[in-house]
Amino acid sequence: MEIYSLHVDCKVTSRFAHTVITSKIVNRANESKEATFEVELPKTAFITNFSMSIDGKVYPGIIKEKASAQKEYDTTVSHGQSAGLIKSTGRKLEQFHVSIHIAAASKVTFELTYEELLKRRLGKLELLIKVQPKQLVKHFQIDVHIFEPQGIRFLETDSTFMTNELTEALTKVQNETKAHILFKPTIDQQKVNPELDETLLNGDFVVRYDVKREATAGDIQIVNGYFVHYFAPREMPALPKNVIFVIDRSGSMAGRKIEQTRDALLKVLRDLRPEDHFSFITFNSRVAKWKSSLLQATPENVASAAGFVQTLLANGGTDINRALLTAVSVLDEAEGLPERSVSMIILLTDGQPTSGENNVEVIQENIQKAVNGKYALFCLGFGFDVSYKFLEKMALNNGGIARRIYENADAALQLQGFYQEVATPILMRIEMQYPENVVEGLTKNNFKLFFEGSEIIVSGKISNELELFPVEIKAQSRASNLTLKEEANVKEKELVFQNQSYIFGNFMERLWAYLTIQQLLERAVSAQEEDQRSLEAQALELSLRFSFVTPLTSMVVTKPAGQQQTELANKPTEAG
């Protein structure tokens, strides 16, 4: 089986990435053989299209509601279950895998399309392309086209497999608002060495960039009646933070996990600012406060905390409920904290609650009642013995997020990386306001906190023939209450995207749909049952209308006669 052509074509327009992977395979054997198409794509992406073309006949993937797709599948496949076409592989990726038998000398073309909205983290937008052809490919090419009307501030590529020879196959062309990255290695450049027919191409190909930000009230872009508003203020002072680290030291954390936790906490302590306040609560079946109240991050207090962190040992059960309630009461009773400051609780645990209250729903209720919207709760789940669903719901209920920490050599770096994302709050209570009577389908427009290096994105539909589109942002900064205003000229904004070859059809509408689905699914996690059904129904309707494989839809892939005819592509979720 020879892959004679493999092309990754990615167009990024205003952070929205549309990637098409085309693989052409020929059966050089003199008998029927199995051809495999295997692609890893980002977990944050939604597949929107897949097709196989065998000797000119096209077999498209059809996206349907999950339950009806499963029913159809069950009726056509009586013998044994297939494993499904998509599975989660590691932290950032999931794998799409399909195999079919093709006759001697036959050719097959596989084509997979997926889309995602790039998320700004620590000041960078990142596009990740996984490269793994597993053989030398005569025509191998990656094309990345970027169009950012705000202007490209910097652009870099990075790869885990580059050699000096391969670097020669990489070209970058860039102007003010556009960039084209082309990676087109010859067969010789792909080889591990001249004698061996082994490929070097195995790993990540990453493009990182950021945009210029001139306007204070963010940047508004409008296409075909849909708008997106990007807001990421620059050069603002950090709000002081009051942070309580709630650390699991139950028996399952013993050994490497507690060591990595100690390493990460020592580095986090060094990153605290002098005006921050902090404390630790550690727990197994017992809950222990390091100090009875929050301490200011003076050099002496930080040194004392570092000494304490180095003594952390793990044994016993897991009383998550009491540990979190204790953290809330320490914040409730705190005195002398800076008037404008951000209070947060960061929980790190590797298991299920086993001591004290262990009904997860009761714990979620208790914590939500106690926090009562006053603080943000971030939940880090270490490894795969945790109930990620439980942590995710608890974090989303309380204005935070959950993140899984993978049990690898770099777990301490993962913990630090997460902390860096929330280390610098610069705004709180952000309200993005738009004229009520002209905007429909508005995505989330109120945000509890804004962290340096991230970005707020709001999208919606402008309903009538509007000439000027006014926006207003209200927020609290360290120094004052801010009101930022901007007025966009709709016709001028629409012109920006006209005649751009970079653009794929109705990208702004798809960006709006992608963002809306992600937010509906996130809200469904922490909603009551009835609301959950309504949120999921809305997300399903959009998933079907825009052809997205989301956790609510499946793609039905039908193969040529005589093979296992139907297979399903279901999107995995972090909660499993």
Residue pLDDT, tens place only, 221-253: 999 899 999 999 988 999 999 999 999 999 999
Question: Could you tell me how many residues make up the chain?
Answer: 576
Whether residue 166 contacts residue 240, with contact meaning beta carbons closer than 8 Å, is answered with no
d(CA 413, CA 264): 7
CB neighbours of 529 closer than 8 A, spacing ≥ 6? none
Residue whose tokens read 């990620």: 388
Residue 461 burial (C-beta neighbours within 10 Å; 0-12, 13-18, 19+): middle
Mean pLDDT of 451-463: 95
3-class DSSP state of 242 = strand
Give the pairing of strands 456-462 and 226-231: antiparallel
Closest CA to 322 of 354, 344, 277: 354
State what percent of residues in the chain have pLDDT above 70: 96
Closest CA to 364 of 383, 351, 377, 350: 377
Tokens of 43: 């977990």
State what percent of residues in the chain have pLDDT above 90: 78
**Share in percent of the chain as helix, strand, coil (round to 5):** 25, 40, 35
Whether residue 546 contacts residue 534, with contact meaning beta carbons closer than 8 Å, is answered with no
In the predicted model, is pLDDT for residue 501 greater than 60? no
Tokens of 155: 């652009």
Whether residue 554 contacts residue 63, with contact meaning beta carbons closer than 8 Å, is answered with yes
Residue 357 burial (C-beta neighbours within 10 Å; 0-12, 13-18, 19+): middle
Mean pLDDT of 512-522: 96
Give the strands of the sheet with 93-102, arranged side by side: 33-42, 93-102, 86-89
pLDDT value of position 194: 87
Give the pairing of strands 93-102 and 33-42: antiparallel
Tokens of 511: 């960006």
Residue whose tokens read 């998550």: 320
DSSP line for 339-406: SS-EEEEEEEE-S---SS---HHHHHHHHHHHHTTSSEEEEEEESSSS-HHHHHHHHHHTT--EEEE-
Label residue 503 by pLDDT band (50, 70, 90).
Answer: low
In the predicted model, is pLDDT for residue 80 greater than 70? no
3-class DSSP state of 531 = helix
Q: Is the dihedral of CA 543, 545, 549, 553 positive or negative?
A: positive
d(CA 210, CA 154): 6
Residue whose tokens read 């793609």: 555
DSSP line for 174-216: E-SSEEEEEE---HHHHBSSTT---B---EEEEEEEEE----T
d(CA 357, CA 371): 17
In the predicted model, is pLDDT for residue 561 greater than 80? no
CB neighbours of 234 closer than 8 A, spacing ≥ 6? 213
Closest CA to 463 of 230, 229, 228, 224: 224
Label residue 86 by pLDDT band (50, 70, 90).
Answer: confident
Lowest mean pLDDT among 70-74, 77-81, 104-108, 346-350: 77-81
pLDDT value of position 494: 87
In the predicted model, is pLDDT for residue 502 greater than 70? no
Between helices 388-397 and 507-526, what is the axis angle to 10°?
100
Three-point CA angle 235, 237, 241, nearest 5°: 140
d(CA 250, CA 262): 14
Q: How many CB atoms lie within 10 A of CB 519?
A: 15
pLDDT value of position 330: 97
Which is more confident, 526 or 564? 526
Phi first, then psi, for residue 66 (nearest 5°) are -55, -50
Residue whose tokens read 């060094």: 270
CB neighbours of 522 closer than 8 A, spacing ≥ 6? 396
pLDDT value of position 165: 85
Give the pairing of strands 566-570 and 553-558: antiparallel
d(CA 551, CA 540): 9
DSSP line for 20-44: EEEEEEE--SSS-EEEEEEEEEETT
Which is more confident, 538 or 505? 538
CA 476 to chain centre: 27
d(CA 482, CA 473): 8
The 3-class secondary structure across 281-307, one letter per residue, is EEECCCEEECCCCCEECCHHHHHHHHH
In the predicted model, is pLDDT for residue 26 greater than 70? yes
pLDDT value of position 526: 86
**In the chain, what are the domains?**
2-212+549-570 (2.60.40), 241-423 (3.40.50.410)
In the predicted model, is pLDDT for residue 441 greater than 90? yes
pLDDT per position as a tens digit, 288-329: 999 999 999 999 999 999 999 999 999 999 999 999 999 999
Closest CA to 405 of 425, 379, 376, 377: 379
